[in-house]
Amino acid sequence: MADGDRDSARRRQRAGKPKQAAGKPKAAAKAVARAKAVLEEQAVTRPARRRAVANAAAAAVGGAFKPWTPREVETAFSRFERANPHPEGELDYRDPFTLLVAVVLSAQATDAGVNKATRGLFEAAPTPSKMVALGEEGVAQYIRTLGLYRGKAKNVVELSRRLIAEHGGKVPADRAALEALPGVGRKTANVVLNIAFHMPTIAVDTHLFRVANRTGLAPGKTPLEVELGLEKVIPDRFKLHAHHWLILHGRYICKALKPDCPRCLISDLCRWPEKTPA
């Protein structure tokens, strides 16, 4: 190749480089943004997926365990009672209405996250009428940090409207009436009935479902099966606080990924074969 041809080729290469480089940073930035979004999504969803896997594993084998005897059940709940005579839920509320709202908002959210969101919400709208006046957009501004916040805001405003129209602005002490409200299922109704109206209901959340199956106390494939199983085996005198004891036990001791068996009050009664060593 002649010198002139070489110089021309070099000039063409140099002239072409800026155009290629100009697109690379944008493409790289988009790739980084996409990767970051994926990582952020995984950071949020992985713990939930892991809990779901742990719960499914417990449910798959829980029914094969030797059933607990009445004496073992009595022993277990006597221990829970001695350790925590008056267990309480961890959601902040002022009355049955704010309790109902807090529980509706707690779906797929932590109690700590709900408490942070409702602090301002309950200052602005502590009653059904004020919640309706605040409106969906107003409620949404307070609960933006919670998952599915727009759907939850819609449910909160609509259930407030229904409470005014159908129950005189009061929260009904009736499961069917509660479950007829937007965003309220059996678990939410049971929580409200238990805490606000002191009824011996058992609300089965993800933690309680895992504990009941993993220990073999009341195995079941669905939350309703577990609830009905627990109602059969738990002595009446323990039922008022039973769901609190079991939920707290699942949240802090019988955790999904690494149960803290050395600290477990009922480790000697638990049927789970793969205990975490001390």
187 is catalytic: yes
DSSP classification of residue 261: G
Both ends of the chain: CA-CA distance in Å? Answer: 77
Number of H helices, E strands in the chain: 11, 0
C-alpha span between 129 and 142 (Å, rounded):
17
Q: Which of 192, 238, 194, 202 is nearest to 82 (CA)?
A: 238
Give the active site residue among 26, 130, 205, 239: 205
Count Cα atoms within 13 angstroms, Cβ side, for 78.
7
DSSP string for 42-110? HHHHHHHHHHHHHHHHHHHHHTTSPPPPHHHHHHHHHHHHHH-SS---S---SSHHHHHHHHHHTTTS-
Nearest alpha carbon to residue 244 among 93, 87, 82: 87
Task: Tell me, yes or no, if 174 is annotated catalytic.
Answer: no
Cβ 74 vs Cβ 236: under 8 Å: no
Q: Which of 170, 187, 236, 239 is catalytic?
A: 187
**Catalytic residue set:** 187, 205
